Amino acid sequence: MGQLTLSAVRKSYAPLEIIKGVNLEVRDGEFMVFVGPSGCGKSTLLRMIAGLEEITAGDIHIDGQRVNDLPPVKRGIAMVFQSYALYPHMSVFENIAFPLRVEKLPEDKIKSQVEQAARVLHLESRLQQRPGQLSGGQRQRVAIGRAIVRHPKIFLFDEPLSNLDAALRADMRIELARLHKQLAATMIYVTHDQIEAMTMADRIVVLNGGVIAQVGAPLELYHKPADLFVATFIGNPRMNLLPVTAVASDGAGMTVDYRGQRVTLPVAARPTEPGTALTLGIRPDHVQIGPADLALSLKPTVIERLGPQTVAYASTEAGDGFCALLPGMAGVRVDEPMLAGVRVTDCHLFDAVGRAYERSIDLSQMDAGLLRPAVAA
Ligand code: ADP
Ligand code: MG
């Protein structure tokens, strides 16, 4: 078992409050990702779960037991850090075996556990080498091995891949997802990288300034961001934001005006004073060439050709910055105006304080298996 509950958890480094009341339930066996900008409190929250940091207020329960006052070793957790924290003078075998030696396990038990972890992590041929002889990815696997042999209820990872180059990060993402499947363990994974969050998580917790902005499956956050912060944090290139004014709210949704053009968006209407300033959100990947419900005349200023996709950074006739992600070798050129269209069903709408109007897209009607990343064991 590895179920975790955080209740009204707070942390202050006087006079600053860093974690401002976090409530969260992590299910047994779940791969939960904490994501958010640098300094938002991800590591602090993880260290409080681990017991490396005292909590200022609130409660932490693991499998129903209150662990506020339990030292780290008694919590049944294992933590893997960005800096691998390996012993350079010890072999890979001894690095992985270290927690078992501390527990004074018999030699044959240690050997079988280390070998089992090495098999899972494809490190069998490296056991007699020193960390200095390994690549960054292999070193991180040794650090994970040291966590695995402890059979923790919950694995905690703090940006474990941030030191690796991009190609290796992509490989390790897949390995970690597979490891999660094999071990069926609860994992909490901290990253500032939204791609890591989207590709590995069962659910993502988006943190902003010490509070949870939203918790949900990756595609839930993509399709139904709760506010402007989540909307612009999840998705790459980031969501375009255009200033609009409210015209009417009724059963059909919200009618808004973008610089003289009126569209009705299928979102849950809220009584909104006509003329109220709102924000229209459009993901670059929802822009098509040619007219649609909303038509925009764009003038590209920068074009990036990635091969499978073309990214056009442009401005609208009104001078609002706007990015379009187009499939393949789109025939767009710098300084040549292009007509772009967006379907109203793809639009997002936010109120003056940045809260999203609920979109009518019904994720519960979608195949649940399609909402999450998946990997074969
Ligand atoms: P993240 O991991 O999301 O980048 P951290 O949890 O490391 O953020 O830090 C959150 C905030 O808490 C930062 O502003 C950081 O400066 C502050 N902080 C972290 N540890 C301490 C400490 N020991 N004393 C004072 N402030 C701290
Ligand atoms: Mg951190």
Q: What is the pLDDT of residues 306-334, one digit of tens each?
A: 999 999 999 999 999 999 999 999 999 99
Q: In the CATH scheme, what is the code of domain 230-350?
A: 2.40.50.140
Domain locations in the chain? Answer: 4-229, 230-350
Return the ligand 1 atom nearest residue 46 CA: 6
Mean pLDDT of 274-287: 97
Q: How confident is the model at residue 372 (pLDDT cuts 50, 70, 90)?
A: confident
Return the percentage of the chain with pLDDT > 70, whole number: 99
For residue 71, how far is its CA from the centre of ligand 1 (angstroms)? 21
- Whether the per-residue pLDDT at 361 is higher than 90: the answer is no
d(CA 333, CA 312) in angstroms, rounded, equals: 9
Tell me, what's the pLDDT at 152? 94
Return the percentage of the chain with pLDDT > 90, whole number: 83
d(CA 2, CA 250) in angstroms, rounded, equals: 46
Task: Output Rg (C-alpha) for the chain, integer angstroms.
Answer: 24
pTM of the model: 0.92
- Closest alpha carbon to 301 in 259, 350, 338: 338
Tell me, what's the pLDDT at 336? 96
Tell me the pLDDT tens digit for each residue of 147-185: 999 999 999 999 988 888 888 888 888 889 988 998 899
Q: Do domains 4-229 and 230-350 have the same CATH topology?
A: no
Q: How confident is the model at residue 377 (pLDDT cuts 50, 70, 90)?
A: low
Tell me, what's the pLDDT at 375? 78
Tell me the pLDDT tens digit for each residue of 189-208: 999 988 999 999 999 999 99
Class for the domain spanning 4-229: alpha beta
Q: Which residues pair with 309 in a beta bridge?
A: 327
Query: Would you say the CB of residue 44 lies under 6 angstroms from ligand 1?
Result: yes
Mean pLDDT of 8-14: 96
Query: Would you say the CB of residue 39 lies under 6 angstroms from ligand 1?
Result: yes
Tell me the pLDDT tens digit for each residue of 51-108: 999 999 999 999 999 999 999 989 999 999 888 889 999 999 999 999 999 989 999 9
d(CA 122, CA 101) in angstroms, rounded, equals: 22
Return the ligand 1 atom nearest residue 47 CA: 6
